[in-house]
Structures are given as C-alpha cells and as structure tokens.
Amino acid sequence: MICFPNCKINIGLFITRKREDGYHDLETVFYPVTEHKSAPLNDVLEVVPAIAEPQLHLSGLGVSGNTSDNLVWKAYQLLKELYSDKVPALDIYLHKVIPMGAGLGGGSADGAFMLRLLNDYCNLALSAQQLAEYALQLGSDCPFFIYNTPQYATGRGEHMTPMQVDLSGYEIRVVCAGVHVSTREAFARITPRMAPFNLRGISKLPVSEWRHQISNDFEASVFSIYPELAAIKQQMYEQGAVYASMTGTGSAIYGLFERAK
C-alpha cells in the first residue's frame, strides 16, 4: 500500500507566550498543500510485508538522524506495540521530496500518514480522533496531517479548530532556498507578543488584504540572518503574488497567485 504525504503552509504565525515548560504558545492557521505545479511537493510512503526483520528504507533527499528517531518508524513502532496482533512485520519505504528544516512539516506529515496508512492496511478501524491522539505522541503538529484540512491552531499547535479557508482560486507557489533553519534557534530569537490579528476571522478577510494584516513572527529574525529569504518574498510580490510569507520557522517562502479565469 502506498500514499503520498503532503506538506503544509502557515497562514499567519504569532508567538504569544513562553510557557513554564519551555515551550511557546502560538496562534496560526495550518493549510494543506495538496497541489503544487512548479514541482512535486509530496513524499512517497509505501509498506509491504517484510521478508525478514522490519526495516525503514530511505531514498530521495537526505534525512538526518537515526532510524529510531524517524517519525515514520516511531509511528510504526507505536501501533505495532499497541496492536501487535494486527500490525505485522513490514518493510517501509520512504522517498523524501519535502525538504527538511523548511517549515513545511514534511517529517510530521510522514509520521501522521504512516499512522493513517497502517490504519487502512491493517484494518485497525481507528477514528480520526484516535489517530490524532496517537499523532500527538509523535509531535505537536502531527495531528494536523490526520485531518489534513485547514485548521486554526493554538497551544503548541496541537489544539485545532476546523477553518473555512478556500484557496482553490489561487496557485500556491513554494520556493525552498536550501537553507536549514533551526527551530530551536528561531524560537530563541522570538519575543512573545499579543496576536496583532485574530486569525479566526481570516475567512472573512479578502486575500488581497492579508498582506497588511497577517504576518509570521519569525520573519524578522530569520530574514536578518538569511536576507536571501527576504529577497525571495519580495520577488514573489514583484511577480504578482497577492500574498507571500515564510511558512513556519522557515526557510520555505510561499506566494498566492490568482489563477487565470
């Protein structure tokens, strides 16, 4: 069985508080990118019965870290431990296309899609809510990819409310500059503040006005270190983007361009 984990973009990202546990509270809208004409932005994930011991096979873009730290492997081990009578030994093939350290959520998508894939492959009959609870054990934004629909997110990104945001009239263009932004370092440079705009009202705000109301708190510090990213955002506007922004903690920049009618 095979699936194609997609990436996401953040529409607005406000860091509102540093918590006592060391994490930060945020407000953002997660939006799934399921279509990208410039180049494919989907990973490829496949499971087949294992010939011997279960293994994770990687290809495509390089993935740092040990296999035991990979969210796909963690997802497999999690469900195999909980449902040992239903989850067999599997060979897992992950082909990476979504860049790491770009704010596109590729690793989180892989982990969540692995849960979804195992749910179907092994006939576990788990609900979306159950899968989201398991996904939260993998990472804060992993539950988003269980639902894979626009979501208003708070807390560390794990508290989500469905949003009516439709960008089907726009082409989403994503530029990955090959810069890896450390999430830890990005947060270390942030000064929390009250959200300057209520993102829950985003569906009532014309996209043409987003540029003046919606921002990403990480841009100032990240752009000061990597001015080429600020240049890419400016080029998006010069090329006709209605709205452009960095996604997550970076470094990917996306632009929304009106589709030809």
Residue numbers of the domain that contains 202: 165-258
Q: Residue 51 and residue 143: Cα distance in Å, rounded?
A: 31
Report pLDDT for 183: 78
Domain containing residue 201: CATH number: 3.30.70.890
Q: Residue 91 and residue 131: Cα distance in Å, rounded?
A: 21
pLDDT in tens, 167-188: 999 999 999 988 887 778 888 8
**What's this model's pTM, rounded to 2 decimal places?**
0.93
Whether the pLDDT of residue 36 is over 70: the answer is no
Which structure tokens are listed for 165? 């945001």
Is the same domain home to 129 and 63?
Answer: yes
CA-wise closest residue to 56 among 41, 77, 42: 77
Is the same domain home to 157 and 231?
Answer: no
Is the same domain home to 90 and 208?
Answer: no
Is the same domain home to 19 and 84?
Answer: yes
Q: Residue 106 and residue 82: Cα distance in Å, rounded?
A: 25
Report pLDDT for 38: 57
Is the same domain home to 12 and 105?
Answer: yes
Rounded mean pLDDT of 205-232?
95
Is the same domain home to 190 and 155?
Answer: no
Residues belonging to the active site: 8, 141
pLDDT in tens, 117-142: 999 999 999 999 999 999 999 999 99
Q: Residue 199 and residue 153: Cα distance in Å, rounded?
A: 9
Total tally of structural domains belonging to the chain: 2
Domain containing residue 32: CATH number: 3.30.230.10
Is the same domain home to 95 and 61?
Answer: yes
Rounded mean pLDDT of 53-80?
92
Rounded mean pLDDT of 219-236?
95
Is the same domain home to 176 and 134?
Answer: no
> Other C-beta atoms within 10 Å of 239: how many?
11
Bridge partners of 110, per DSSP, are none
Which structure tokens are listed for 167? 């960008």
Which structure tokens are listed for 190? 């942030």
Which structure tokens are listed for 29? 């809208």
Last residue of a domain, one of 111, 145, 161: 161
Bridge partners of 104, per DSSP, are none
Last residue of a domain, one of 111, 131, 161: 161
Whether the pLDDT of residue 215 is over 90: the answer is yes
Which structure tokens are listed for 161? 């409310």
Cα dihedral 98, 138, 147, 8, rounded to 10, equals -30
Last residue of a domain, one of 146, 161, 176: 161
Q: Residue 31 and residue 10: Cα distance in Å, rounded?
A: 6
Mean pLDDT (the chain, rounded): 93
Rounded mean pLDDT of 135-153?
96
CB crowding 93-117: b at 16 or more within 10 Å, else e:
bbebbbbebbbbbbbbbbbbbbbbb
Q: Taking every pair of C-alpha atoms in the chain, what is the biggest distance, in angstroms?
A: 57
Given the DSSP bridges, would you call strands 55-60 and 90-96 parallel, antiparallel or unpaired? parallel
Is the same domain home to 148 and 193?
Answer: no
Is the same domain home to 13 and 81?
Answer: yes
Is the same domain home to 150 and 180?
Answer: no
Is the same domain home to 123 and 244?
Answer: no
